[in-house]
Amino acid sequence: MSQARRAADDAATDGAASPDVRLVDLVRRFADVAAVDTVSLDIARGEFFTLLGPSGSGKTTTLRLIAGFDQPDGGRIELAGADVTSRPPHARDVNTVFQDYALFPHMTVRQNVEYGLRIRKVPRVQRRTRAEDALAMVRLAEHGERKPAQLSGGQRQRVALARAIVNRPKVLLLDEPLGALDLKLRQEMQVELKRIQGEVGITFVYVTHDQEEALTMSDRLAVFSDGRIEQVGTPADVYEHPANEFVAGFVGVSNVVEREGRRFTIRPEKVRLLEENEPGDGLHVEPGTVRDVAYVGMVTRFLVALDAGGELQVVRQNLETSHEEGQALRGRRMRVGWRDEQTFAIEHARSREEGQP
């Protein structure tokens, strides 16, 4: 069932549907440290929602609280409108996919996928049918009789995913599930995960520290820092309109510039590199010196020290520019230009002492 169809059917049944996940003032402390510090969040039915942040930011602890693997010190967790804060994991309509797959090595792929259904005493014929459907969904229909050791890393991850979705949970929690894969396979699995989520219509709550992964896959995302949420929004909103300096620096690369008491951010791809005599019609233009040049295949990155203070990273696509031409600009006097409407005023990221608004 598609995400849109599921949402429409649920809405017809429930009227004004509750979010699939609601966190209200959630707190989890370890000794004197608040790993999750008064987090409130709604995740809508059928969303692919990502919890994004660096190590130690509280995203995985939040996921564990939703799953019931850990208990909060304060606040409330709701699933589809029901308060599940004190319920154990098996009494919550969620399943979790981990980075290490957690497959049973002595079982076949099909037996691994059927395992949860067997625990729930689903009849054998129904187990087999649902397992085969789940394996077909993850494109492993021909691998049911193999053992996990006979599969690649990406295939084992898809088995873990099939085992999770075969139980038809309302919410699927994914804890950095692609972290152990190489770059190319990880990118392929990003596409697969998004496809599968759209087909099954299950709400996905996905934890990652990989900004590109979050921007590629998510309907919306929450950026975590020091146990708190700094910003929630669509990938485009968070990337183009960062709420503060932490978000601007963590989600992609961003330049932070201060002029006349105004602090703002601008992305490197929005900045143009101009020769000293090249017109900058309609741009805010400043002179500087190219301090460093890095050729990275599709683009060249320039670091420009500005006469007025500060440095800017500038990205130029290598449409017709060679490595040698880019390197020749090192040490050159140049100008940079950007459109004022492509800059966004930002604040410093909040410290713990400042509290949450």
**What domains can you pick out in the chain, each with its CATH number?**
3-245 (3.40.50.300), 257-345 (2.40.50.100)
Q: What is the pLDDT of residue 355?
A: 44
Q: What is the pLDDT of residue 349?
A: 53
Burial label for 285, CB within 10 Å (0-12, 13-18, 19+), is middle
Yes or no: say if 130 and 122 are a contact pair by the CB < 8 Å rule: yes
Q: What is the pLDDT of residue 303?
A: 96
What residue ranges of the chain have pLDDT lower than 50? 1-15, 351-357
Q: What is the pLDDT of residue 317?
A: 87
> pLDDT > 70: what percent of the chain?
92
Q: What is the pLDDT of residue 40?
A: 97
Q: What is the pLDDT of residue 98?
A: 85
Each residue of 60-79: b (16+ CB within 10 Å) or e? bbbbbbbbbebebeebebbb
